Structure 1
Amino acid sequence: MHIESIPMWEGSGNNYAYLVTDEKTKDAVIIDPANPSEVLPTVKKAVDSGVNLKNIINTHHHGDHAGGNAEMLKTYSVPIIGGKDCAKVNKTPGHGDTFTVGESIKVKALHTPCHTQDSICYFFEDGNDRAVFTGDTLFIGGCGRFFEGTPKEMDKALNETLAALPDDTKVYPGHEYTKGNVKFGIRVLQSDPVKKLESFTNSNKYTQGKFTIGDEKKHNVFMRLDDPDVQKFTGKTDRVDVMGALREAKNSM
């Protein structure tokens, strides 16, 4: 599969949309095309070169992810797959439901309620090539705010649902927030993996697709709730309490 990242609102929201194409059939989907003025030129160029846009996919209903749906439909009248509260949504897959993009790409929907209750992450698999599009649930070195959910729900989303994916699965989040995440992470955990992430962000503007689920288990403090150093930082030992304390501390930065 071919994944093209499309940065949106750089300098403010630092969002990403993603165009994912099956290289055999040229069938493609666009994920979270929230700002059509920035997304449509890339999609048009791909379509003009033979790509067939089949679906819009949303990770959750927030405007900076699903807010471009109506405008996108004016140019590309395709079905929308997304959370139940997403604008113009046609289909909401159940947790664990699968569908395909073209002939080669198998997609599994993973419900990860917390940031919003309709949050869905999408695991894409094409042979040995694996990627997960995590919206505002999992960021490189961090996680989303608990706008509609609880620490328990985020623990499950990160440390049961997403952690169960193969370690070599590349992570494509909804925002480029890594610099801020590692600034917090290094306060919590001064480990070699966190320092390595800090070094990478100091010399690279973009981090999407550069790290895996296996990496996140090592350098993402929200996925290390049993780590003694993380527990010491929070003053808690129960997993859910640790998660809640971490998020509160990150919110207050």
Structure 2
Amino acid sequence: MWEGSGNNYAYLVVDEKSKDAVIIDPANPSEVLPVLKKQVDSGDIKLTNIINTHHHHDHAGGNSEMLKHYKLPIIGGRDCSKVTKTPKHGETFTIGDSIKVKALHTPCHTQDSICYLFEDGNDKAVFTGDTLFIGGCGRFFEGTAEEMHKALNETLAALPDDTKVYPGHEYTKGNVKFGIKIMQTEPIKKLEAFANSNKETQGKFTIGDEKLHNVFMRVDDPEVQKAVGKSKPVDVMAALREMKNAS
């Protein structure tokens, strides 16, 4: 959504068997509703929920308008507009017959940030909102370096390495431009090449990849520590964010 300005992603996730579906962060209804209407009217999907990753307007700001068209419960962070359910950290729910979803609280960008791990058989995907981007992370608007370190390097890093990452924005080009100044490793050079030749990067990289090419998930790396002049992981996180903000 808002291509060229916010480069936001909204995601439609469908359980193929039951046709049950959820829409994640449908913040710009004028772009989202025509797609949904076509699929709902044709019987391809049965929309069951709106899911929000956090309360910011460019993620949850479409909720009121969406509800005019689809009277659905909204699962999201406690501060999201019109939210009906805020799952606890680690709480699970299902979509249709086969998709299991686990809510992971990742406060920092906002205090109500929630990432959602989706599992269907062996397939795993995590929708990270503005907590984790491909090659980067969100600004610490409502939190601290400590909280982001925990969110990225404890909560999300603990997910299986083959979990695909679906962030809230397409920011990879900017992230890698910053990251490559900090470390010049093969994984980050590969990411740079991919970002330069592909407009979209969502779902193309995994948690395992992020641990290799995302400087914010390499706060223990001597090369990263040297680049920022800090050695404690939380201090490295804080310094990286400050440098990125200024870049």
Give the aligned residue type for 1:32.
D
Deviation at 1:41, TM superposition (A): 1.0
Q: Give 3-state SS (helix, strand or coil) of 2:9's partner.
A: strand
Deviation at 1:126, TM superposition (A): 0.2
Give the aligned residue type for 2:176.
V
* Residue of structure 2 equivalent to 1:3: none
Deviation at 1:193, TM superposition (A): 0.2
Give the aligned residue type for 1:213.
I
Q: Give 3-state SS (helix, strand or coil) of 2:10's partner.
A: strand
- Provide, for residues 80-121 of structure 1, a one-character-per-residue CA deviation record: whole Å limited to 9, x for no partner: 000000000000000000000001000000000000000000
Provide the C-alpha distance between the structure 2 equivalents of 1:26 and 1:44, rounded to a whole number of angstroms.
14
Q: Does 1:28 align with 2:21?
A: yes
* Residue of structure 2 equivalent to 1:75: 69
- Please point out which of 26, 38, 42 is paired with 2:31: 38
* Residue of structure 2 equivalent to 1:182: 176
* Residue of structure 1 equivalent to 2:110: 116
Deviation at 1:29, TM superposition (A): 0.3
- Provide, for residues 118-154 of structure 1, a one-character-per-residue CA deviation record: whole Å limited to 9, x for no partner: 0000000000111000000000000000000000000
* Count of residue pairs the alignment pairs up: 246
Q: Does 1:156 align with 2:150?
A: yes
Provide the C-alpha distance between the structure 1 equivalents of 2:19 and 2:41, rounded to a whole number of angstroms.
12
Percent of aligned pairs with the same amino acid: 81
TM-score normalised per structure 1? 0.97
Q: For the aligned residues, what is the CA RMSD?
A: 0.4
Provide the C-alpha distance between the structure 1 equivalents of 2:149 and 2:180, rounded to a whole number of angstroms.
20
TM-score normalised per structure 2? 0.99
Provide the C-alpha distance between the structure 1 equivalents of 2:41 and 2:110, rounded to a whole number of angstroms.
36
- Please point out which of 12, 22, 47 is paired with 1:19: 12
Which stretch shows the higher mean deviation, 217-226 or 37-46? 37-46
- Please point out which of 137, 148, 158 is paired with 1:143: 137
* Residue of structure 1 equivalent to 2:93: 99
Provide the C-alpha distance between the structure 2 equivalents of 1:153 and 1:81, rounded to a whole number of angstroms.
22
The gaps in structure 2 that reach 5 residues or longer are none
Provide the C-alpha distance between the structure 2 equivalents of 1:104 and 1:46, rounded to a whole number of angstroms.
20
- Provide, for residues 21-42 of structure 1, a one-character-per-residue CA deviation record: whole Å limited to 9, x for no partner: 0000000000000000000111
* Residue of structure 2 equivalent to 1:228: 222
Deviation at 1:48, TM superposition (A): 2.0
- Please point out which of 229, 232, 240 is paired with 2:234: 240
- Provide, for residues 14-67 of structure 1, a one-character-per-residue CA deviation record: whole Å limited to 9, x for no partner: 000000000000000000000000001111122123210000000000000000
Provide the C-alpha distance between the structure 1 equivalents of 2:60 and 2:32, rounded to a whole number of angstroms.
13
